[in-house]
Amino acid sequence: MDLNIVWFVLIAVLYTGFFVLEGFDFGVGILLPFLGKTDTERRSIINTIGPHWDGNEVWLVTAGGATFAAFPHWYATLFSGFYLPLFLLLMALILRGVSFEFRSKDDNPTWRATWDWAIFTGSLVASILLGVAFANLLRGVPIDASMRYTGGFFNLLNPYALIAGVATVLVFILHGALFLSKKTTGVLVERAQQTARRTWLPALIALITLLIGTLIDTDLLQHRGVWGSLVVILPLAAILLTGYFIRRQRDGWAFVMTCLTVAFTVTAFFVALFPRVMVSSSDPAWSLTIYNAASGPYTLNIMVIVALIFTPFVLVYQGWSYWVFRKRVGNNPKTLTY
């Protein structure tokens, strides 16, 4: 396996980690105003992801940095090309990030309502935009021979990308609801379970629509052939099993299955993309690939060494932090961390 492939896989792993982890905390953020009826309930909901959301987001920051280091042309074309969606994504992430820290530091109800709104909006907007952006990478966008994005903002708002945005939101809501069902207590558990039951079917439909859209609107079938295209079965199987476990009231297993749904969707995406990183709709030959967009072998080599040494540590201590906070978050305002 050459270094370029190694780096493609590593970046795919980083995005998979990001979507699986931040996926449920985006879902929790979107559900916050609906599941939390009282201030204490909302605080409990936030505290389920309080210690983790920032670490989850670092997966995205690292993916961005790794893209810059390993595939600078991908980084340059993507970030300057998808300018406005990325700008909106940054705004959403900024608002959402500070809100977790700020919302409880003042008693004023308007203050709290404002930051709660920011958590909801930030989580929702970020989820949609990420779905839209990734779908466009695969579907193809206008890119010229010198790797420059020649489209505009509205090129990105095609039906396929919008379906991806909606599917991302619905799957994250399901994912977040199942996370909450395992991490809260009392009435919140019931509400989370109910939400999971109600969201499952819409999420399933959206995901099926997305997968069918992928077969129609991208070059997956020609590019990977019929057998290769079967990769789309994986997320489908996982979300069907999610439904099975929800019905059996096995929330933990259902959550494992939404983790797999997200992970398999991202995997299918990268399988369909490989060896390209951004498909050009102007001319397939102008697509950015892991070869024409890459750094030199020396840089790739060094970064592989760095990644192989440090990634295991990250997995261990981040895993440990989930273990430290493995207990359900209570609903006694006296023992909640504010």
Fill in the DSSP letter of residue 218. S
Q: Let me know: does 282 contact 40? Beta carbons within 8 Å.
A: no
- The nearer residue to other proteins, 147 or 173, going by C-beta atoms, is 147
- The nearer residue to other proteins, 63 or 238, going by C-beta atoms, is 63
Shortest Å distance, C-beta 209 to other proteins: 30
Beta-carbon count within 10 A of 54 CB: 14
- The nearer residue to other proteins, 1 or 107, going by C-beta atoms, is 107
- The nearer residue to other proteins, 28 or 303, going by C-beta atoms, is 303
DSSP 50-65: TTTHHHHHHHHHHHHH
H or E element that contains 167:
helix 159-183
Residues ≥6 apart with Cβ < 8 Å to 38: none
Interacting residue ranges for other proteins, rule: CB under 8 A:
47, 50-52, 54-55, 57-58, 61-62, 64-73, 75-81, 83-84, 86-87, 90-91, 93-95, 97-98, 100-102, 105-106, 147-150, 295-296, 298-299, 302-303, 306-307, 310-311, 314, 317-318, 321, 323-325, 335, 337
Give 332-338's long-range contacts (Cβ < 8 A, gap of 24+).
333/40, 333/43, 336/40, 336/43, 336/44, 336/47, 337/47, 337/50, 338/43, 338/104, 338/105
Shortest Å distance, C-beta 156 to other proteins: 13
Shortest Å distance, C-beta 216 to other proteins: 29
Shortest Å distance, C-beta 218 to other proteins: 23
- The nearer residue to other proteins, 209 or 292, going by C-beta atoms, is 292
- The nearer residue to other proteins, 149 or 264, going by C-beta atoms, is 149
Peptide bond before residue 109 is cis, with ω within 30 degrees of 0? no
- The nearer residue to other proteins, 120 or 245, going by C-beta atoms, is 120
- The nearer residue to other proteins, 225 or 297, going by C-beta atoms, is 297
Shortest Å distance, C-beta 180 to other proteins: 17
Query: For residue 268, which of 241, 234, 301, 302 has the smallest C-alpha distance?
Result: 234
What phi, psi does 185 have (nearest 5°)?
-135, 160
Shortest Å distance, C-beta 203 to other proteins: 28
Residue 46's Cβ-count burial label (10 Å; 0-12, 13-18, 19+) is buried
Give dist(CA 224, CA 214) in Å, integer. 12
Shortest Å distance, C-beta 258 to other proteins: 22
Shortest Å distance, C-beta 146 to other proteins: 9
Q: Let me know: does 249 contact 275? Beta carbons within 8 Å.
A: no
Give dist(CA 97, CA 271) in Å, integer. 32
Residue 7's Cβ-count burial label (10 Å; 0-12, 13-18, 19+) is buried
- The nearer residue to other proteins, 209 or 311, going by C-beta atoms, is 311
Shortest Å distance, C-beta 127 to other proteins: 16
Q: Let me know: does 151 contact 137? Beta carbons within 8 Å.
A: no
